[in-house]
Amino acid sequence: MTLSANNASDRARQILGLTERLGTRLASETAALEAHRPQDIHASIEETRQLSNLYRMETARLKADPTLLSGLSDDMKSQLRTATETFMAIAKRHSIAVEAARTVTEGILHTIATDISERKAQGASYGPGARQVYRDPTSLNLTHRA
């Protein structure tokens, strides 16, 4: 999926709209993550993924062929520059929020796996020198093999 533009001005308007829409999506997701409500982004994550892919493809396309935006007015160039700078700030904040959520989630899963592993510790022997052998954390999917 790519943008379908008639000329440089039309392409610039479409990219501007895409940048603003994606920025709005990321800002909304960031707010949900910062409010510790990641479940609120579940319904819209596919739209965000599609917009992100389109944005990535279009920016790569423009980088490969800058003439696609040749002849733009200074006002339109300024609008694109401002929208891109705003989007990059939003994307950076979103990246920090996603990384924080990932770190917390991994920590919780590691703690659960360690607890399960400790509960399943096996005795190595009987008698006065008996000890328990602790294994590294295992899969949380304990009823199936990988």
Q: What is the pLDDT of residue 138?
A: 59
Q: What is the pLDDT of residue 50?
A: 95
Contact 1, 54 (CB under 8 A): yes
> Mean pLDDT per segment of 10 residues, for the chain of length 146 residues?
76 93 96 92 93 94 90 92 96 95 90 77 64 61 55
pTM for the full predicted model: 0.74
CATH of domain 8-121: 1.20.58
Q: What is the pLDDT of residue 141?
A: 61
Q: What is the pLDDT of residue 9?
A: 87
d(CA 60, CA 80) in angstroms, rounded, equals: 16
Residue 132's beta-bridge partner residues? 123
* Domain chopping of the chain, boundaries: 8-121
> Which residue, chain included where needed, has tokens 């959520």?
101
How far, rounded to the nearest angstrom, does the alpha carbon of residue 102 sit from its chain's CA centroid? Answer: 10
